[in-house]
Chain A
């Protein structure tokens, strides 16, 4: 038991375990199917948020265009589901049966060639990740090889978000335009609109998210994670240590894109549609806020950030629809000004020391004021041992705890 405990502490996985219990046990027991589906939807933003932890927190590269990859993943999934929902029987009232309804409304008479591969589920799963990663690779390779970074890179990602939104809305016949791809029904014959399906999809999302956190944690603990931190600190030193800095940034950007895309695909499955309103500049900035509120150095914190901000958004936008955007802006400014490391940072700087103080306080009290004499008073022995172990754990900041303390 102690061995497990120390291993969890060392690798910083204790907080992941707590999150896992919360997502897989507490929420499903405490919530009805509707609320659980809502949480499932928020969790899909958790993918984007942990991607931003890797890219922004670790890599020091701020992207204000993560909605692009969320959207591309979501659209890839939506295209498959739409084709399945558009079989010739259920679309027989259209002038061209067998193609998605919005194509028919836009006078298309055949399925565009690039829609064809999305008849295959295997290809769709591949495309959910591959298309966003390819775009991320092209954009980031072109930028980072030319040493474009910082604010300029953020602006370019915004431009990409805008371009994609305009493209999707403009090409209504191919993309469903501003309405998006709606009316999705089944996945390989399995009705995704039932409560049962939604619960199952919730668990799938939660499990994938936990898997993604573990993957990112592994990357953080690898040399690549160290290099990302090193690059953020002294980029030139990394470059002049023989590393091609741009390729590491490209990797971080592609990783964040892939995670966002998986989130997008799970979003489409749970919500039942995908539209340009999840792609553009505003949703992309909201995604950055999730990571900022949760803590951009903390994977688990980012997930809590995504959950909290979205709960807040749902609650406030129902109660004060006009005020929500101002509240959101206020929240972002407040977080950046007051606690730049987010909730996880607050935990590290306030809650953790407080817990440690509480834990340590009773131990010296047990030994009293005078020095213990364990040989003559065996009753005092356990107390001394306890003090010794807490003192040892407090005074030896080993490498593992050092790294884990600034993350997860």
Chain B
């Protein structure tokens, strides 16, 4: 496992659940500033792959290097602190707190017990909250309880919570699920903007949306990588058509 220029280098990654290999000897490299979309049929192991990278699931074998630093042994919160942010499939926000509090809590300072006790919402935090709220289009809803947001707004809020941490690698699991056409458009714009100084991995099914955002597409099938390349190349790949795009 040599050092690389890639922001994320996944090599020979395997995870098995009771003998079933959900991820089987997988290799994946993501460049700096790249927006990678992972597609594939249900059960291909897409979400499992993100779980492995962010530490939610522990790998059976193989390595995950983030900026040449091994991640497989680190606890989840250390992986986050290294600079990997993860958005879950269903919007995972703090429904009882206001939008402002949701963002403020995600600010990467005062992360220890006593740090959190002494944490003060100073100008830097306020400015960051305002900046991110503007990006995700929730600047007018800061005092609103997050549970009252629409589904699409909740998805944006969770992306905003990740942006508060300025992660170098952002992983989004089906960010447009349940969104209206207009919201999808806005989300595509948002993703195109936020990948300018970071790498982003997106799992998505909507091929039009994928075409709008993807720099490069990886197709997964049965825990392995079936194909990888530009959108056009993927669309014309007979194997991809066979297992996924098909018929």
Contact = CB atoms under 8 A, between A and B. Distances in A.
Given A241-B106, A241-B165, A224 B94 contact: no
A244 B161 CA distance: 17
A226 B105 contact: yes
B27 interface: no
A202 B104 CA distance: 41
A106 to B, nearest CB: 43
Contacts of A227: 105, 116
B181 interface: no
B54 A398 contact: no
Nearest to A241: B106
B116 A224 contact: yes
Interface in B80-137: 80-81, 85-86, 88, 92-98, 100-101, 104-106, 108, 110-113, 116-119
B47 to A, nearest CB: 13
Contacts, number: 89
A236 B117 contact: no
A72 to B, nearest CB: 22
Contact of B88 (A236, A238, A398): A236
8 contacts: A222-B117, A223-B110, A226-B97, A226-B104, A226-B105, A234-B93, A237-B92, A240-B77
Contacts of A244: 75, 77, 111-112
Interface of A: 219, 222-224, 226-227, 229-230, 233-234, 236-245, 247-248, 250-251, 397-399, 402, 406
Contacts of A250: 113
Nearest to A396: B143
Interface residues of B, number: 36
Contact of A219 (B80, B81, B104, B117): B117
Contact of B143 (A224, A233, A398): A398
Given A239-B76, A242-B165, A234 B108 contact: no
B79 to A, nearest CB: 8
| Of listed B80, B94, B104, B165, residue having the most chain A CB within 10 A | B94
B76 A223 contact: no
B145 interface: yes
A247 B97 contact: no
A223 B103 CA distance: 12
Q: Which of A234, A236, A245 has the most CB of B within 10 A?
A: A234
A397 B105 contact: no
Given A222-B119, A223-B110, A234-B92, A229 B77 contact: no
A247 B76 CA distance: 13
Contacts of A236: 56, 88, 92
A399 B98 contact: yes
B91 to A, nearest CB: 10
A53 to B, nearest CB: 16
Contacts of A398: 143
B119 A223 contact: yes
A233 B158 CA distance: 14
B101 A226 contact: yes
B117 A224 contact: yes
A241 B75 contact: no
Contact of B80 (A223, A233, A242, A402): A242
A243 B143 contact: no
A397 B106 contact: no
Given A230-B105, A397-B143, A399-B98, A240 B54 contact: yes
